[in-house]
Every structure is written in C-alpha cells, then in structure tokens.
Structure 1
Amino acid sequence: MTFETQDLMPSDEGLAQAATLLRAGGLVAMPTETVYGLAGDASNSVAVARIFAAKARPTFNPLIAHVTGLKMAETLAVFDDRARAVAAAFWPGALTLVLPLRPDAGLSPLVTAGLPTVAIRCPAHPVAQALLLAFGGPLAAPSANPSGRVSPTRADHVRQGLAGRIDAVLDSGACAVGIESTILGLDGAPTLLRPGGIPVEALEAMLGPIAIGGDAHKPNAPGQLASHYAPEAGVRLGVTVPMPDEVWVGFGPGCAGAALSLSPVGDLVEAAAALFQTLREADMLAGPGGRIAFAPVPETGLGRAINDRLRRAAAPRPPVQP
C-alpha cells in the first residue's frame, strides 16, 4: 500500500500535525543530530509493525526508544547509579543505553524484539525534542531508510527511500553529527554494542575499559547486522591506489585525484558528518555495477564508528528474498 507522504516544517503547526499523525498510529520521519529517524508510537504495536514494514526491516532487530530525558527513560528501563551518571554526562546526545526493561514499561514487544532489555536515547536535536514533547511519550525511531541501505542525513534522503510508505517527513535540514548514536550496554559490564557519535574513549574515561559486544545473528541493539548501510555499488576499503574503474573516496591531504573526500584535511568530525551523503554521491558516480574505493580512515575516536559503517557497507549482501 502506498499513500501520499506529507512534507512538514518544524513550526508549531508542523509539529502539532506530526504529533497528531503519531497519535493515530502514523509514521513521521524526524530529524535528530545523528541521522533522520522513522518515528512511531513506541507503545502501539500496529505503529511499530508499520515501521518494520516501511523499512522492510527484520523483526528480530530491536529499535531504539527516544525520550525527552531521564524522567521518561526511567519509566521504561531500570537505571542504577552508574546508568544515571552516564545519562547525566552524555544526554541529551548521540548515546543510546541498553538497560533492563521495566515490567510495566508499556512498550510494544516489537520495540525490544522480545528481549528483556531496551535501547533508549535522549536526542539533542531541538526539533526531535519538540516532537517528543508534543507527542507526550516515547517514540520508536530507527533510521528513516530502507533496511540495510545508506542512512539518511537530509530530508531528501528520506523521501528517496520511503516516500509513499510513511505519513510525513519533518524537514529540518542536514543532521550535524551525521552518523548514528553510540550504543552502550549497561545491563551488566559496560559493553560497546555499536560505535557511533560519542567516541568510545570518552566513555572509557568515565567507566574504564569497555568490552566489545554485539551479535549479527542475534542482535540486542540496532546496527549489528553484518551487511548494513550499503550503497548499490560494491565497496572496497583501505585503498591507497584505486583501480581505474573505481570511484575513489579520499580522507586527508594525501589523496590527490580522489573523486570525493570524506575530509580533505583529515578531520574525523567532518568525515563522520559527510559519510552517508558521500556514500550516496559515490554510488551515483559509480553507476550500475560500479565500485567504490575508500581511502584508509584512522581507527581512533569517531574513526571507529566511520570504519564500522564502511565495513558493513562493504560486507557481502544477503540474498534478495523472492
């Protein structure tokens, strides 16, 4: 089923319309500081099922519940002193916490994929916060793109992938961070479940050494599938000398001749913000059956999140289901 997708502006009127759609079980793409999220009422199983259907997302892959702050978050999950301290330090912001689910949380089981934990984030984007306040409850919101494809950092990216499948797009320009949130498991020992917009070094400065976790076959948080963030073209990584038929994406000043660059000066913040838009541009340049080659990116700070996304973009694609 397809229908008209409305374009809404982040005015009082647009936010009120978006909240009305959400209360009726509709889906609204909303801006966050990381990427655009596809928001639906996290307590409404029909709305959450529509998220999975619109994205063609596997239902074993849990979603993130977005909240206005710690007070709302504590109605959904069990926070200990450690979790409260981490939330105080990094919220609002690009950090998702995976915590034990409260028995009385009232979330659709589809949000947690039936797991005893829930992923929660308090976004910093003022429009996301305004929509959460207007709606008055938690919103389930994975990235607003077809599952496994390049994440959207602009409203046009959302329309390209989901127009006709969702009710509205709340347009607030380009996302500042440009890469999804870091996901930290705190239902036991601190565990990095997905690198993202908060460098793991910042978390380790507060918590000490953090283990690496996540299972592509049984994900307990979003962004763990082996093949993800994929353009149509094939992707090759760590390339300093590209093949003649490859679109070369550089990083830093030593990439003369690159068609595109994540950051000509080698700035990881700039590279993270540009990653998904650059993937889209490289895909267009490569054309059908083409290939993209990425120059090496340091595995430090935000480089860890950038390389995580690039490795998943380069991974073998799952077979297309008939």
Structure 2
Amino acid sequence: MTNQLAQLKQVTTVVADTGDFEAIEAYKPQDATTNPSLLLKAMQIEKYQPLAQQAIDWAKQKSSNKAEVVAMAGDKLAVMLGSKLMAKVPGLVSTEVDARLSFDKEATISKAKQLIALYREQDVDTSRVLIKIASTWEGIQAAKVLESQGIRCNLTLLFSFAQARACAEAGAYLISPFVGRILDWYKNAHPEQDFSGANDPGVKSVTNIYHYFKEYGYDTIVMGASFRNIGEIQHLAGCDRLTISPALLDQLANTDAPLATKLTAKSATQTPPPPLTEAAFRWQMNEDAMATEKLSQGIRQFAADQQQLESMLGALI
C-alpha cells in the first residue's frame, strides 16, 4: 500500500508550507508558499544566510537611505527565495505582501506590483507567482483590482465564512483558510469540549467553504493551511489544495493506512447571492469573535516577524 502522502496527492494538490529547499526536494509538492515567519526561519539556517547579504548589496545600489535599503532588501530577499522555490516545484509559489499594509488597499496594490516587477528582473515566469495578501476588507478589494490586471492572489489569514465569501466574490484566485489556528482558539475558549476528528472547528470551516464554493460555481481555489496534526489533513482529503509543513508531510509519508476522500466537487446548482457589502462584511466579522481575534493576531505576528527580519537585514548594512 502506498503511504498517505502519495494517496493524498491523488485527490489534492499538495503545497509545501516552508522555505526549506531540502524539505521540498524530499516531499516533491506541486506548489510552495512562504510568509514572513517562514522567511525568518529560513534566514536562521546558515546555508541561506548569504542570500540576505546579496539582497542588502542589491538594495544599496538602489538607495543610500538605510530604511529604504532595508525595506527593498526585504522584498528582494522574498523574491530571491521565491525564485529558488520555483526551481524546486513545478507549480506556483506565493510571496506575501508586508502585513503592515493589511488595511491599506492602494499600498497593497503598489507593493504587489513591486514584487511582480522584482520577479520579472529575475527572469521568472510571473504567471507562476501568487501575491499573498491578508483577508481584510482592504486586502480583498486590493486583490480584486490585482486580479483584474492579471496578477493572481492568495488571500491568507482567513478564518471566517464572510472572508471566504468576499474573496470568492472578488474573484481571488486562491484562499488559505487557517485550520489549526481556528482549532487553537476553540480549544482555549472551550477546553472541556471534544474537538477531535470531524469535530475540529477548523475542519468544519474549510468543509463548509469548499461546499459553498462548489455549490455556487465560484472558481476560487480552497487551500487549507496551518495544520496542527495529520488528522485535520486526513479529514480534508479531496480539498482543492492543502499547504502542509515538512513535519506533517513526514508523518503522512510514514503512514500506510488507507486514506479516504472526504471532499468531492459537485456541479454548481445555485445562482450566487448578491455580493457582500463592506458593511455586511464588517458586521459579520464583528459577530465572529474567533475570526476577528485570529485575524488581528495573525497580522500582528507576521508584522513582528517582518520587523525582526528587517532588523537582521539592517545589521548587515
């Protein structure tokens, strides 16, 4: 019998949630994705540290202002790592917009275009690049503009149905609902409850989003993310895509039990409802304490990791 990773690849596109090239070579995912936290981890691995100096040297040719050099080097580093990841996977690579721009539509659009321009300078096929944006109202509206201009987007830090629906209505290429972080919140809020297996609220959330998208014929890809255990992955087998850390990829590769397909796409049967208004979106987010808290927390964490990465880069100047 083939292992569960091989079985999963038969029904779901597997994406590596890492910036570690060796892990990608070992597990051979279709796509790869990074974020500030993963970039920070990569920079703490000695063999990747020369890339940081290369990014600084490049940025110093563009500006003499230290703050500008650090900011440009951060973008350059993300693109350099993304380009290297593309050499390891046959599919797509996601590169994240600075989380500190999460509530600024125009700045997000500008930063996305800068990242695409940097990829072009690397002679990269930009059709393989997804721009990763936090699923705030402003981020979703920025993605709507970018998608209309041919720049495909991955909407991340997604915790609620309202976020997912708004992303689909905006024509986002892909969403990354965070399974494990939803589970974390519910376990903390309700420690007495059983959230194992199919009771996992993160699994329920992605399942609901997946079926809604298929029922109404939205093209937006659903990519479950942020897993805490392989049980969550097993219960989402059949989802469009799943982005999985090396540790969990290893567990799947070493598990030989049969893997049942849990999610299957059906033909669209319903006409989509009118799009959410901004007011409706904000109200639904307000009513969802988990999503509101986890979105804010996620943005803060990515921003903190971005600042720490920039401090490391600044020390190299």
TM-score, structure 2 normalization: 0.29
Which one has a larger percent helix, Structure 1 or Structure 2? 2
Which one has a larger percent strand, Structure 1 or Structure 2? 1
